[in-house]
Chains A and B, each alone.
Chain A
Amino acid sequence: MLKFLLRRLLTMVLTALCLTFVVFYLTNLPPNLEKLAKSEASARMSDEDVAKWIENHGFAQPVLVRYGEWLGLLPGWTRTEGGVTTGRCIESGQDAATAPLRCGILQGDWGQSTVFKESVASIIGTRLAATGWLMLCVMLVMVPTSLLIGVLSGMREGSRLDRGLSIFSIASTATPEYVSGVVLIALFASTTTGISPLLHEWGWIQGKTLFMGTATSALDKITFWNFTLPVMTIALYGIGYIARMTRASMTEVMTAQYIRTARLKGVGFRQVVMKHALRNALIAPFTVIMLQFPWLLNGVVIVETLFNYKGFGWTLVQAAGNNDIELLLACSVVAVIVVLVTQLISDIGYVFLNPRIRLA
């Protein structure tokens, strides 16, 4: 087990290094740097000025060196011009002698965002917290619902209940977030279509719409009315997939010998499902749920853009759309770590839940 863990961790670190290097390389291509120079200094710079700016800000070094600096493995660049020393780790007005030698993400220095004019670490912190709430609510809705649907439809394969629930789960996997979000807003949060105008006319609701079409206010205070639609939008897409996995696993368990034995022994159907089948049927969905996190990340980006909820996904879109290199790098580090850690947890959890799997 220890050896397996070590090997997995090593692969993980290697993967993270490769991925961050790819992102670093792609965000630091010459056209991006030219754009950065123009947006930071002046939009009407001549080509020589741009080249000089890039040179002065340490972007002219080889990519690998800059990647090392960004990681915090190599000492940050310094240059002395006219008696003034500037450098990656020297803040304006700071004495060059007191500045630290290295400053990268290993030292906890994530850089400065050019869009929000704030330190990247604090942006990522607050945005991740906002997304954390969204994720938590999604999980609370998605996991119980999908397991229930899966178990109910897998319990009696081919029954009418099974057919109905299966169609529902296929339909939900066929509805990406940007479709279900649009449909849900039109149904519940539109002043002209859906049920809101009717309810308003009948005097059942005070406001113009039943739910709110944006979740911006949820940043201050999460309420049922502003958070339901984003949560449902993300959850719907995941429910179908997890439910289908649960159903497959449940039907397999229900045909097993020990279930037949229990039935023949005279145990009631309800008892068989609750006591014998459920525990074994829920092993496979566990992995699927853990592996859903990377998918959720995708959904989060779409939903936060659609509902204007300023969380991690929204930040990622802003960073990517505005050429905010440091922020985009930080976002990708977080995203990659989330994906890799959930993969690791799902592997380890699988071993614990299923004693038949032995690791060399």
Chain B
Amino acid sequence: MDALSWGQILLKVALQFIPVWIALALTFGLSIAFKRRLGLYGKLYDSPVGMIGFALVMFWVFTAAFAPIIMTQDPLTQISGMKNILPGTPVRGVEGTWYLLGGDNLARDVFSRMVAGSTVVIQIAPMATLFAFMVGITLGLPAGYYGGALDTGLSFAANLILAFPVILLFYLLVTPEIVTSGLPQYLGMVLFLFPLIFLVVMINSRLYVKPPLRNALIAGVVIIGGWLYLSLLSSPGTKIDVLPPAIDVIEVPGNILIVFVSVVFVNAPTVFRIIRGLVLDIKSRDYVAASQTRGEGPWYIMLWEILPNARGPLIVDFCLRIGYTTILLGTLGFFGLGLSPESPDWGSTINAGRRLLSIYAHPAIVPAIALMSLVLGLNLLADGLREESLKD
């Protein structure tokens, strides 16, 4: 078989992505048809920039979802003779398959690894950002609302973390010596508690007038949330090993959990500062004074009066922060920290490819472009959302 020309490579790659194109077309078709009924999300379709951003983001989300169908090879299999091979070379001995975007220095398919890498990023980045937001909101609301010593203490702690150079922090948290000491897991124990606290306080402040309903809901949240919490943290053979394997449903590989924790830890202080600033601004509004006069509790005011009114800037920042988290994940991979060297995530593959960069560029370029397009999509989406939310 002959090697493919660039036109053929592009065509083949586009054909591999067919499920993604169909899903994208469906999403956009349905959303545009009903855009007047979809609120802020529907308004996104009035802004070309926002639409391009959303398309880029959804492209990678669907790629991550359909990764097993899109991949042409197994991302970990090495095929002899395909080392550093140029894009479009046919696989030896197998009719009708190619290394569409070439092979890396361990003779693995660059295209399939890039697709497999999207699953890692799409799974970790939004979740980590969400957790960082939960931590930031739960601490930022009282800091801004009460002020005083609480605010001074929390702000000092936040500034402390922010003054740390990120890479140094990663090196300190993710090195094997510190991982064996269990420190990242203890940190995770504290950080993962915040979503639970957030939910419980939110339900309690709203429904404390209806005790039976409140008790039922809180019991549900505590039992299900606590179970998820424990099964997320506990893994056999480490410092925290509390749940028997039979009910330990979520099995996160140890190093991914550590990466997750450190990314949440780095992001949370910034979110805290944003929330605190927003609360300081909003708490002087009339509707806050009205609910205070009405005799509402402080947490009701914080969670049900102030927080919903801060949603605009928060949604925009959420998009930007997912992009930033993606960059952080890439940085971790680039320095070979945390994730295993086999892992197909984009940072690690860039790191593996950069050694032979001046001779074989494709193993590093492909994941680099992928990462850039996802972050660009998120930034454009945030820009579009900001523009549309300012129009009201």
A interface with B by C-beta (< 8 Å): 11, 15, 18-19, 23, 26-27, 29-32, 35, 166-167, 170-171, 173-176, 178-179, 182-183, 185-186, 189-194, 209, 213, 294, 297-298, 301-302, 305-306, 316-317, 320-321, 323, 328, 331-332, 335-336, 339-340, 343
Contacts and interface: CB of A to CB of B under 8 A. Distances in A.
A213 B380 CA distance: 31
Given A171-B376, A335-B168, A31 B177 contact: yes
B379 A32 contact: no
Contacts of B167: 298, 301-302, 316-317
26 contacts: A23-B172, A31-B178, A167-B49, A174-B378, A178-B347, A179-B372, A182-B365, A183-B365, A185-B357, A186-B364, A189-B358, A191-B359, A192-B360, A193-B362, A294-B163, A294-B165, A298-B165, A301-B165, A302-B331, A305-B334, A305-B335, A306-B354, A323-B177, A339-B163, A339-B164, A343-B163
Nearest to B334: A178
Contacts of A30: 181
Interface of B: 49, 156, 159-160, 163-168, 171-172, 175, 177-178, 180-181, 183, 323, 327, 330-331, 334-335, 347, 350, 353-354, 357-362, 364-365, 368-369, 371-372, 375-376, 378-380, 383
The 6 tightest CB contacts between A and B, nearest first, are A320-B171, A186-B361, A31-B177, A174-B376, A174-B375, A179-B368
Given A182-B350, A185-B357, A190-B359, A335 B372 contact: no
Contacts of B371: 176, 179
DSSP class of A's interface residues: helix, strand, loop or mixed? helix
B380 A23 contact: no
Contacts of A339: 163-165
Contacts of A26: 172, 178, 183
Contacts of A317: 167, 171, 335
B164 A336 contact: yes
A29 B160 contact: no
Contacts of A32: 177
A183 B358 contact: no
Contacts of A173: 379
Contacts of B365: 182-183, 186
B364 to A, nearest CB: 5
A193 B353 CA distance: 14
A193 B360 CA distance: 8
A140 B153 CA distance: 38
B359 A29 contact: no
Contacts of B183: 26, 29
A323 B177 CA distance: 10
Contact of B364 (A11, A182, A321, A343): A182
A249 B384 CA distance: 19
A145 to B, nearest CB: 19
B372 A190 contact: no
A190 B357 contact: yes
Contacts of B49: 167
Nearest to A212: B358
Nearest to A244: B383
A15 B163 contact: yes
Contacts of A301: 165, 167
A194 B166 CA distance: 32
B376 A178 contact: no
Contacts of B372: 174-175, 179
A332 B361 CA distance: 34
A32 B163 CA distance: 24
Given A186-B361, A190-B358, A176 B330 contact: yes
Given A32-B177, A316-B168, A174 B379 contact: yes
A29 B177 contact: yes
B181 A320 contact: no
A238 B177 CA distance: 34
A15 B160 contact: yes
A182 B354 contact: yes
A164 to B, nearest CB: 12
Contacts of B360: 192
A18 B161 CA distance: 10
A24 to B, nearest CB: 11
A18 B157 CA distance: 10
B368 A170 contact: no
